[in-house]
Chains A and B, each alone.
Chain A
Amino acid sequence: MSAHSHLDGKLPHEPERATLEGRNKVLGFWLFLGGETVLFGTLFSAFLALRDQVGDGNPTSQELFKLATVAIATVILLTSSLTSVFAIQAMHRGQVKAMQNWLIVTVVLGLAFLGLEVYEFIEYTHEGHQFSTSAFSSSFYTLVGFHGAHVALGVVWISLLIGQVYRKGLTVVTAPKVYVAGMYWHFIDVVWVFIFTVVYLMGKVG
């Protein structure tokens, strides 16, 4: 099947797994995400252990969190995960242009999410919730900030990939890169679902 496609000069159906290098990359990235899961798991544990340590006179999570903003951010990030799926589906159909466009939408949504997060953090600091205020604030900013840094890295990464595919086209070398970037994007989306639940919803309930 794949040999046949090669003769046509076309890409195989799953170009990310067409070469051993590609298969290694995809498996290695799954494992890397396993390590990332432990990383965020530990950050969540630290946050759960410290989230009630607000300190006297500092704003509590009930006072701070504005669920409307966070809900919008959640919708944006979940949508970006969907658009990254569309990009990978387009890649599997061999539609390079559509793939690039969906990736661009993903990046734009990621930037919108980051913008909201920066706005949120600035608001919080104005309300006296700074990084060094309390154990709650330190663990909050570390957990949510680690996630935000992951989103920022993903935005830069996918942007560079869009440029790379533009120059080199979709090949068995570039396809695994796009595919693992998609996996990464889903992962940070899943982490956000947990942050929304554990940090914001549970923080609002108390």
Chain B
Amino acid sequence: MAHAHPVKRHTGLMDWLTTVDHKKIGILYLIAGGFFFLIGGLEALLIRVQLWKPLNNFVGADTYNELLTMHGTTMIFLAAMPVIFALMNAIVPLQIGARDVAFPFVNSLGFWTFFFGGLLLNISWLAGTVPDAGWTSYVPLASPTYNVDKGVDFYVLGLQIAGIGTLIGGINFLVTIINMRAPGMSFMRMPMFTWTAFITSALILFAFPALTVGLVALMFDRLFEANFFEVAGGGNTVLWEHIFWIFGHPEVYILILPAFGVISEVISTFSRKRLFGYSSMVFATVLIGFLGFMVWAHHMFTVGLGPVANALFSIATMLIAVPTGIKIFNWIFTMWGGSIRFTSANLFAVGFVPTFVMGGVTGVMLAAAPADFQYHDSYFVVAHFHYVIVGGLVLGLFAGLHYWWPKMFGRALNEFIGKLTFWTFFIGFHLTFFVQHFLGLMGMPRRIWTYLDGLGFNTMNLISTIGAFLMGLGTIFFIINIIVTAAKPKNAGNDPWEDGRTLEWSIPSPAPEYNFAQTPLVRGYDALWKEKMDGNEGMSPAEPIGPIHMPSPSILPFLMSVGLFIAGFGFLYAKNDWNNAFVSNIFGNHIVAGLGLAITLGCMVVRSLKDDHGFHIEPEEITGKGVKA
């Protein structure tokens, strides 16, 4: 039955470049996402330094536009989403009792395309021509007529490449969750984080292709003289807004739903109570995912779509407050009467609840179309979306990282530094963004690089800048915590919080390569907690110990992404004025771009022709590591 195929197992750097192990890919996502988070955070600090006093000239207007564009784009696409993918990769297969994801190779490809897409976007800083039309890249501002530099080209190509990675990552998680659940793990027994990962993946699947079309159309306008958004050629600028937001609004639910999942897990674990209203939580998640596609035009109330369209989108937007409210009350009722432990993970989770409510309330205010005419493009909007994205998503990610760190790395983060991180970040966050509501109501427009004295903006901008530095300090504490923890011995047990409820806490920390020596038999919601309550030692196995089949590592995903990266450069510099005739020739005739695409397609053919037999881990090796037979 088990024929062992010899397979080359890499070590060191090659191991990381070729890995198809979802736990390692999760760590790669965390490192890359964390790196881009630091870049985006640095950009935010530069923005706040520029705005700390009126008529400041710390950075010029052009640089300011570049900073705000790259801050938004980097944080959304290259920091928030990858860290979400990090947690999904590290945890979802463990929570459903799977040995692996459905498509390990595709999983690796998803990471590398994201990484090289993000790299391409950020190389624009070195190239000296940076995207500067905002993260929404509205036309005509981003059109070739008004934006002659290559900045927006970096944006359209970088995001297309990164978007491929996100899309195939989403498909991978959908198939994993549908097909790879352990025996007994029915949909209505799945942990909340897995449910939110599932719905988020579905949103990715149906939202990202729209962005791809928008980016392709803008790229065609910019590189090949198409007329999608060129008014002189009959193009339509409002079309871009529709395409962007029909992607862009689901995108914000793609971001926040996994945070909802993390909060549900953390609050339930540290209240030592079953999540209150589990089935209503599932229902609310699905409903938010569905309604998320019905509300995109609330970003366009001032465009002039007419009162009927504005009224409908207004109502649809306010409807989302209902399932979100269900969630808020469920979290509160989960804590109610529980024996709550304020670990640093739970501090972030509990801090999340009121903060996110504040973001939700301003969201309902913005959803009222007539009122939105006053708030539109003011700092009120900036305050709102930072409350839901930073106060919501980022607090959720911090909660999840502190909670699952021992499962990912085998070492628990230091609790004291963790609490220090929470308080500095939390206070800094509210200092930064609470005052921005009032700046907006007083009339300070967003995306301006400076403001005049005597408008009453000075004090609040100063407070906001101080708060931003406090958030930076919180981030530094987190990094110190990572370094301090990495120096400690790997001594986390299977269930380091002692109150673990879900399957990931039934296996060693960090999880072995094959996750589960024997696939567990799931007998109810909160599978591990149920066994604990029934007085059992861990999960009952659903199969005898046997050889475990594993996929082979492969360098192809890395090479395919390098190919796309080269192709991106080829298209970017096709019309560049090169000094060298040869270089000019290979770029101008799309030889570089073609070569890049050929690398990618060639790797796809190799992948198809070369059968991946994988390899087996034998029972002796599994039991030899101290796993009970």
Contacts and interface: CB of A to CB of B under 8 A. Distances in A.
Interface of A: 20, 23-24, 27-28, 31-32, 34-36, 38-39, 41-43, 45-46, 49-50, 53-55, 131-139, 142, 160-161, 164, 168, 173, 177
Interface stretch (B17-25, B44-52, B233-241, B445-453): B233-241
18 contacts: A24-B175, A28-B102, A28-B103, A28-B172, A31-B174, A34-B206, A38-B209, A42-B210, A46-B243, A50-B228, A131-B225, A135-B236, A138-B220, A138-B226, A138-B235, A139-B228, A142-B216, A177-B608
Q: Does more than half of chain A's interface fall in helix, strand or loop, or is it mixed?
A: helix
Contacts of B171: 28, 31-32, 35
B148 interface: no
Closest 5 CB pairs of A and B: A53-B234, A135-B234, A138-B226, A39-B209, A132-B225
A46 B103 contact: no
B445 to A, nearest CB: 30
A135 B205 contact: no
Nearest to B101: A24
Interface in B228-265: 228, 230, 233-236, 239, 242-243, 246
A164 B609 contact: yes
A160 to B, nearest CB: 6
Nearest to B214: A42
A134 B233 contact: yes
Contacts of B216: 142
Given A34-B205, A142-B217, 6 more contacts: A133-B227, A136-B234, A138-B220, A142-B216, A142-B228, A164-B609
A138 B233 contact: yes
A164 B604 CA distance: 14
Contacts of B207: 38
Nearest to A164: B609
A23 B212 CA distance: 28
B605 interface: yes
B167 interface: yes
A32 B471 CA distance: 40
B165 to A, nearest CB: 13
Given A50-B236, A173-B611, A135 B230 contact: yes
A68 B167 CA distance: 39
Contacts of A134: 227, 233-234
B486 interface: no
Contacts of B233: 53, 55, 132-135, 138
Interface in B320-371: none
Q: Does more than half of chain B's interface fall in helix, strand or loop, or is it mixed?
A: helix
Nearest to A58: B234
A27 B178 contact: yes
Given A27-B178, A50-B234, A35 B206 contact: yes
Contacts of A135: 227-228, 230, 233-236
A20 to B, nearest CB: 7
Contacts of A28: 102-103, 106, 171-172, 174-175
Contacts of B243: 42, 45-46
B279 interface: no
B493 to A, nearest CB: 32
B239 A24 contact: no
B22 to A, nearest CB: 14
A177 B210 CA distance: 27
Interface string B164-183: 00010001101100111000
Contacts of B217: 46, 142
Contacts of B167: 35
A38 to B, nearest CB: 4
A36 B213 CA distance: 11
A50 B235 contact: yes
A31 B175 contact: yes
A43 B239 CA distance: 11
